[in-house]
Structure 1
Amino acid sequence: MTQQLSRRLFLAGTSAAASAGIVGAANAQTPAGGAASVSVQEALKQRRSTKRFGRADVPRETVLEVLWAANGVNRPDEGKTTAPAWHGSKDVDIYVALEDGVSLYNSAANTLEKVSDADIRADVSPTAFVRRAPVVLIYVSDGQKLATAAGDIATSAPEELAIAARVNSAIMAQNVYLFCAAEGLGTCLLGTVDREAVKTALKFPDHLTVTYIQPVGAIG
């Protein structure tokens, strides 16, 4: 039963990411070009992992467009977003590490809320190319929200919560991949994270867990 549920989670996440990602990217853009003028097929053809980033800053407006594609509200009347979540848990938040500090993405308002003035980009991972990226997305899962959404599964199959946290994050990350492909930006999803460093820097309580990080920037 547990293996079947895990497989359903994976398949559902993969399908939803492919179909939802470029829709968010298109809606976040004006009709003049960029992601709005790129087909789903073309974005998928261009999707790739980048490990070389240029030094140029990414405009804040573009950062917000990336985040909207990841998990922005696309159905305001219902409060629903571009990315689905296991059992409707909505457990994953995205923190954004920039040169001038770290902010939390508020998907309802499509804004960045400053949580720290520290530049932690060099501390989030031992991987050298991460510290060269102008933007680093940090995916953070709230274990309490997952447990509430899971109900009895939280005690009968607790390993499913860990899988769900990563699947929910990966769906958002694929949305980012497709948006970046459409916009000509580089990105790369990484599980190589110094989770204790992030937890300490941002003063996370124990129920918050970093799942992945995803640097974003001009391709170097």
Structure 2
Amino acid sequence: MRTIFCVLATLMLGLTSLQAQSLKAIKLNAPDKTRGASVMKALADRHSEREFANKKLSQQDLSDLMWAAIGINRKDGKRTAASALNKQDVDVYVLMEEGAYLYDPKAHQLNPVAEGDHRPLIGGKQTSVNSAPAC
């Protein structure tokens, strides 16, 4: 847990000012709010995965995950994930092979933060994370 916090703090403080030059922002598709199973089925099926497919997430999957994590789901700007006093002080970073991105809920896009593969920095002893399509 300490390692994850240190890595995220480094990314937020040190790398956000160094916009990755060759990486471009990834404009995400509109989230598909009709897909998926019921909440109860999703909770029943929840588990930790240790093996990952060797393929990238589709743009739609990435879009839906970002929206579900902290996207805007109301006209007044409130988010899918609740926050204390509606402070909305949570940021979601996505680490992929080509680089690290910060999710912008208002634009519904991933903004580049740092080039390169930073996935091994957050896995700690869970080496399966090093090759996951996205962290």
Question: What does residue 71 of structure 2 align with?
Answer: 72
The residue aligned with 1:29 is 32
Q: Is the 8 Å Cα contact of residues 57 and 134 (structure 2) preserved in structure 1? A: yes
Please show how residues 139-178 of structure 1 align to structure 2 within 5 Å: none
Superposed, which structure 2 residues align to 1:30-179 within 5 Å?
31=34, 34-35=35-36, 38-75=37-74, 77-126=75-124, 127-136=126-135
Structure 1: 5+ residue stretches without partners: 1-26, 137-220
Write out per-residue CA displacement over residues 182-208 of structure 1, whole angstroms, 9 at most, x where no aligned residue: xxxxxxxxxxxxxxxxxxxxxxxxxxx
Change (3 A) 1:45 1:114: same
RMSD over aligned Cα, in angstroms? 1.7
Larger Rg: 1
Provide the secondary structure at the position in 2 that maps to 1:28.
coil
1:142 equivalent in structure 2: none
SS for the counterpart of 1:43 is: helix
Paired residue secondary structure (1:84): coil
> Whose helix fraction is larger, Structure 1's or Structure 2's?
1
Structure 2: how far apart are the matches of 1:61 and 1:117?
Answer: 22
TM-score, normalising length: structure 2: 0.71
**TM-superposed deviation, 1:30:** 6.0
Q: Normalised by the size of structure 1, how large is the TM-score?
A: 0.45
Alpha-carbon offset, residue 81 of structure 1: 0.5
Length, aligned pairs only: 105
Identity %: 32
- Runs of at least 5 residues in structure 2 that lack an aligned partner in the other structure: 1-29
Task: Give the superposition deviation at 1:93.
Answer: 0.2
1:114 match: secondary structure: strand
Q: How far apart are residue 40 of structure 1 and its match? A: 1.8
**Structure 1 counterpart of 2:4:** none
